[in-house]
Chain A
Amino acid sequence: AQTVTQSQPEMSVQEAETVTLSCTYDTSESDYYLFWYKQPPSRQMILVIRQEAYKQQNATENRFSVNFQKAAKSFSLKISDSQLGDAAMYFCAYRRTGNKGAQKLVFGQGTRLTINP
């Protein structure tokens, strides 16, 4: 079974600085998707960034970028120029490719990110 591990329960960073959240996963599949979701206090799950395993290029979305190391099964999230609105729980998630039964997301335990003004 696939597993996702986020080893940092909590992280904090000064506003405007850069922070990296770690995520490792375990799978025997060669093709899959990886995601980072953000959950602010409002509880809404918001997609931050998405990576297809077959792509070697790391995904970026504005201030958010990932370091995807397929061989090491590592998928870290870097947030540059941190803003107060980035404060949230961040979840790393894995999903197999394939048909209907493969479509579930497997989540890590989450990392609570605090931004210090």
Chain B
Amino acid sequence: DTAVSQTPKYLVTQMGNDKSIKCEQNLGHDTMYWYKQDSKKFLKIMFSYNNKELIINETVPNRFSPKSPDKAHLNLHINSLELGDSAVYFCASSQVATGREAFFGQGTRLTVV
């Protein structure tokens, strides 16, 4: 039973299209995140939601819009895709009060052609 699951695992799309990545966690965590891993493997936070409230928004173009319908779900919608958006996007979750580690989804490899 997967703890943090993302769909799809792979996404190939043309420039200018709009796409969404979905994420669900069954750990009962109160905080969810989106991280971006670039071609050099560098990982950086994009967004964080705590109990459906946007907490962190790290200088991300407004073409990227996260949406959290409930505590267990955090989706990422990307408008007008650009070549530079090609990356691996990771969803993660954690429980703020415990201080324990974040659990990651398997990542979504987005390729914009």
Contact = CB atoms under 8 A, between A and B. Distances in A.
Contact of A107 (B42, B96, B107): B42
A103 B104 CA distance: 14
Interface residues of B, number: 29
Contacts, number: 64
A104 B100 CA distance: 12
Contacts of A44: 104, 106-107
B45 A43 contact: no
Contacts of B107: 43-45
A43 B106 contact: yes
Contacts of B56: 101, 103-104
If over half of A's interface residues share one DSSP class (helix, strand or loop), that class is named, otherwise mixed; here it is mixed
Q: How large is the interface on A (under 10, 10 to 19, 20 to 34, 35 or more residues)?
A: 20 to 34
Interface of B: 31, 33, 35, 40-45, 48, 50, 53, 55-56, 58, 88, 90, 92, 94, 96, 99-104, 106-107, 109
